[in-house]
Amino acid sequence: MSYRHRAVNGRDVELPLGKVVCIGRNYAEHARELNNPVPKEPILFIKPATTVVPMEQPFRIPAHRGAVHFETEMAILIGETLHHANEQQAMHAIAGIGLGLDMTLRDVQDDLKAKGQPWEKSKCFDGACPLSAFLSPASVKDLTDVQIRLSVNGEVRQDGNSAQMLTPVLKLLAYASEWFTLEPGDVVLTGTPAGVGPVLPGDTLRVELVDLLRVETSVQDPVS
């Protein structure tokens, strides 16, 4: 399934697909629901470009690898290089704002965590990062007040606000850029609110930045 960055008006965004930088446990209640400590600084991990698929199209999940959980996140498309950036530079580097699903093999992740091993096998399978089209930065007046919501088969499962982030968006971008360069076409997933849970083949999902962006999608039969 091919992917290219797109704007909500349907046009391609002329940026290459790069890495996806994810922020773990950026909402305290999400950390607690998985019995994890609330971090004192952002937890960073990366999904490769091979994980990315268009959110608007039905996507597949792996078979025979245990529970597959959704984690709904506000996604930030990077348009300028950020290296040891400050918050003002981070703001100017935002090329788009959208939605991402950090799909996770939860049983696999729990096993990896128990062994003290990295999470890649649970987070980086093909199709593990459905991304929406991107709004222009001007469309979002306040990055610290965006409602993020996910419904599965008509039932609201996640409903949080970016105001609840432990580290807000601009600080996240600046922080990540201290550890590795963010390049044009990279995407940063900014963390998920509480309420994560499993999806199954045949489920329908409605993913929203409330009053800004809504995507309807579904889960297809699993990949063996």
What digits encode the pLDDT tens for the residues 28-78?
888 687 777 878 899 999 999 999 999 999 999 999 999 999 999 999 999
SS3 readout for 120-139: HHHHCCCCCEEECCEECHHH
Interatomic CA distance for residues 209 and 167, integer angstroms: 19
CATH at residue 133: 3.90.850.10
What digits encode the pLDDT tens for the residues 76-89?
999 999 999 999 99
Count of structural domains, the chain: 1
Supply the pTM of this predicted model.
0.96
What pLDDT does 122 receive? 98
| DSSP annotation of 30 | H
What pLDDT does 38 receive? 76
Q: In this structure, is residue 6 part of a structural domain?
A: no
What pLDDT does 191 receive? 96
Average of per-residue pLDDT across 23-30: 88
Domain of residue 111: give its range: 20-218
Which H/E stretch holds residue 53?
A: strand 52-54
pLDDT at 222 over 80: no
With left for phi above 0 and alpha for psi between -120 and 50, is residue 115 left, alpha or beta?
alpha
- In the structure, what pLDDT confidence band is assigned to residue 224 with cuts at 50, 70 and 90? low
Residue 168 — φ and ψ, nearest 5°? Answer: -70, 170
Q: In this structure, is residue 224 part of a structural domain?
A: no
What digits encode the pLDDT tens for the residues 143-186?
999 999 999 999 999 999 999 999 999 999 999 999 999 999 99
Q: In this structure, is residue 223 part of a structural domain?
A: no
Looking at every residue in the chain, the average pLDDT score rounds to 95
Helix (H, G, I), strand (E, B), or coil: what is residue 20? strand
Which H/E stretch holds residue 204?
A: strand 204-209
Tracing tokens 């990366």 back to the chain, one arrives at 46
Q: In this structure, is residue 184 part of a structural domain?
A: yes
Helix (H, G, I), strand (E, B), or coil: what is residue 56? coil
Contact 139, 44 (CB under 8 A): no
DSSP-derived pairing of the beta strands 68-70 and 52-54: unpaired
Interatomic CA distance for residues 195 and 164, integer angstroms: 14
Q: In this structure, is residue 89 part of a structural domain?
A: yes
Q: In this structure, is residue 69 part of a structural domain?
A: yes
Question: What distance lies between CA 35 and its chain's CA centroid?
Answer: 21
Interatomic CA distance for residues 9 and 91, integer angstroms: 22
Q: In this structure, is residue 199 part of a structural domain?
A: yes
What pLDDT does 35 receive? 72
Q: In this structure, is residue 11 part of a structural domain?
A: no
Tracing tokens 């950390």 back to the chain, one arrives at 31
